[in-house]
Amino acid sequence: MPYRLLTEPFRVPTTDGKRIDEHVGLAATGEPALSVAYMEAPPHWAEPFQRPAFSEVTLLVEGRKQIEIDEDGRIEAVTLWPGQSIVVGPGTRVRYSNPFAEPNRYVAVCWPAFAIDKAGREEV
């Protein structure tokens, strides 16, 4: 197959106001090796710390986004600005959030593909 036009991403159901549109991945196309999603996070959005079993790159398109990385019990907070990206390796304890007053928009790429049972989210 030379190409595949993806016109309708899979809208992941959420309860926290975050928009997740998966274009490629397990839910959207059945692809296990990679997932690509467009996301929008509202102001003051946050998710719990997680220790995913996949790598993830976040490419910020608009707004700001905070990533907290736990390095042996020391939390380092990184703020992404538009045009910046961050790669977080598998097994890293990480927390993604938008503590700012404006929404943000970004693209997330995970390999292997994102799966909720592989996210390793901590209970809150």
Per-run averaged pLDDT (10 residues), the chain, 124 residues: 89 95 96 98 97 98 98 96 98 98 98 96 88
Domains and CATH numbers, the chain: 12-118 (2.60.120.10)
What residue type is assigned to position 77 of the chain?
A: A
Torsion of the alpha carbons at 50, 116, 24 and 37, rounded to the nearest 10:
-40
State residue 124's pLDDT score: 76
State residue 95's pLDDT score: 98
- Give the Cα separation of 109 and 34 in Å (integer): 7
Rg of the chain on CA atoms, in Å: 14
